[in-house]
Amino acid sequence: MSTPRPSAVAVLGAAQCVYWGILYYAFSVLMVPLRNALGATDAAIAGAFSMGLAISALLAPRVGRWLDQGQGAAVLRSGALVAAGLLLVWSKVESLVTLYALWVGLGACMALVLYETAFALVTRAYTDPGTRLRALAVVTVLGGLASTLFLPLAGMGVTHLGWRATLQALAVAWLLMTLCLERFALPQLRTQEQPDLPVVASTPKGIDRRLVRWVGTPFVAATFTAMALTTLVVPHVVSQGHSLEQAAWVLAALGVMQLPGRLWLWRGGHLALSPHALLVAPLALQMLGLTLLGTTNGLAGAFLGVAIFGTGAGLHTLARPWIVPLIFGVETAGRANGTIAQSQGFARACGPFVVASASGYFGSHAVFLILSIALLACCPLAYRLSCHRQLAASGPA
């Protein structure tokens, strides 16, 4: 079986950049003008987005089953086309009720078009684990640019065009990217899908759910801590007497520092990488970053802590789509990934509220340290997972 051209994977990664940038990151920029236009509170506007995340999480296992049936290209195409229309509808919204109803649909589109579907297409296109990991790195390197590109673009659009025209422009950009995806990537990736590959670590009734919980726990914990850090870092730094602008630069390090590790894997670092390194080291880096945030007060300490955490988070994003097909088999990887992604989605949706409440009682330093201890507790589990016979058989990534 031939493999897709590298350009097909690059276009898939570029699409993830656009989709994440518009569907996920742009919302934070649009919150204030939406609040003013609809006469609502920040909490009410944010609630629509949280509901979208919850809908996405609820649908993740179902989408995973479709992906296991070799329907990745159809799933991505349908979600992208529906989302383009819903973005245009969003630009016309006049009430909070309509906004919430709209985000039910956009939340469903999140489940269809974001990383899970892209990872499934890559997984089925490459049989060699090392080549697969490198392709996943390409997708996440480009996808990781979403916040860097679309936060300022959305901000400039709102300033100069207004939020409604900005959404319309974003809808056009979304549709153009979808057309490029259809022309240059999906035909190649669709022909590579392998619906008849053997199933590993499965039972006659489906996947081993106990093993799924074991595999998923470190990733769910890491997702929760990432949302906690994103929520708390800015008020944490500002409370120490630093400016909001300085705090924003500290948080910006989270996105930027996720790229070096992915770039290293893209350029061939996977050839010398072991499962231990990809599963345990990222958790250790995230734990160290949280520890620095919990024990230091200066701007430099906060920046270093966020940067170290971001380095670990960037590598950890690649770990799950790489190890799950090796452990469960490509044929059931969609279901396993969907089950884990559902828990991650709920962690992403409730994380900000939980940690903000805890910070009010215990202070942000204590919360960072508690989260660091939680990741430390996950390290032995991650190490045991890295010793799984299927990962050991795969050799270096």
Q: What is the pLDDT of residues 368-391, one digit of tens each?
A: 999 999 999 999 988 888 777 766
Q: How many CB atoms lie within 10 A of CB 179?
A: 12
**Interatomic CA distance for residues 63 and 55, integer angstroms:** 12
Provide mean pLDDT across the span 344-371.
87
**Structural element, H or E, at residue 196:** none
What is the model's pLDDT at position 375? 95
Which pLDDT belongs to residue 202?
40
pLDDT at 342 over 60: yes
The pLDDT tens digits of the residues spanning 148-161 come to 888 888 888 988 99
Strands 202-203 and 206-207: antiparallel
| Per-residue pLDDT tens over the stretch 109-151 | 999 999 899 999 998 888 887 788 888 888 988 998 888 888 8
- The CA distance from 316 to 289, in Å, is 14
pLDDT value of residue 265: 73
Residue 1 is predicted with a pLDDT of 52
What pLDDT is stored for residue 137 in this prediction? Answer: 86
Maximum average pLDDT range among 126-135, 166-175, 180-189, 337-346? 166-175
**CA atoms of 31 and 302, how far apart (whole Å):** 27
> pTM for the complete prediction?
0.81
- Could you tell me if 29 and 155 are in contact, meaning their C-beta atoms sit under 8 angstroms apart? yes
Q: For Cα atoms 343, 290, 245, give the angle at the middle one, nearest 5 degrees.
A: 100
Which domains does the chain carry? 6-192 (1.20.1250.20), 202-394 (1.20.1250.20)
**311 three-class SS:** helix
Question: pLDDT band for position 273 (50/70/90)?
Answer: low
Q: Among 176-185, 312-321, 365-374, which stretch is predicted with the lowest mean pLDDT?
A: 312-321
For residues 240 and 28, give the distance between their C-alpha atoms in angstroms, rounded to a whole number. Answer: 24
- pLDDT single digits (tens) 36-95: 899 988 778 888 888 999 999 999 999 999 998 889 999 999 999 999 999 999 999 999
DSSP state of 202: E
Confidence check: pLDDT of 198 > 90: no
Of the candidates 36, 188, 171, the residue with the CA atom closest to the CA atom of residue 125? 188
The runs of H, that is alpha helices, within the chain are 6-20, 26-38, 42-68, 72-90, 96-113, 115-125, 129-143, 146-161, 163-184, 186-192, 209-238, 244-256, 259-266, 275-295, 299-328, 330-362, 364-386, 389-394
- What the block records as the tokens of 90 is 């969003």
**Nearest CA among 251, 275, 264 for reference residue 326:** 275
The tokens for 96 are 């909070």
In the predicted structure, residue 272 carries a pLDDT above the cut 80: no
Question: Which DSSP letter does residue 5 get?
Answer: P
pLDDT at 257: 84
Mean pLDDT to the nearest integer, 197-210: 53
Q: How much is the average pLDDT of 16-30?
A: 90
Average pLDDT estimate for 268-295: 81
Residue listed under structure tokens 């340290």: 369
Nearest by Cα to 283 from 388, 385, 389: 385
Is the separation of the CB atoms in 308 and 292 below 8 Å? yes
Contact status, residue 283 vs residue 222, Cβ threshold 8 Å: yes
pLDDT above 60 for 246 = yes
Nearest in space to 77 (alpha carbons), one of 7, 167, 177, 2? 177
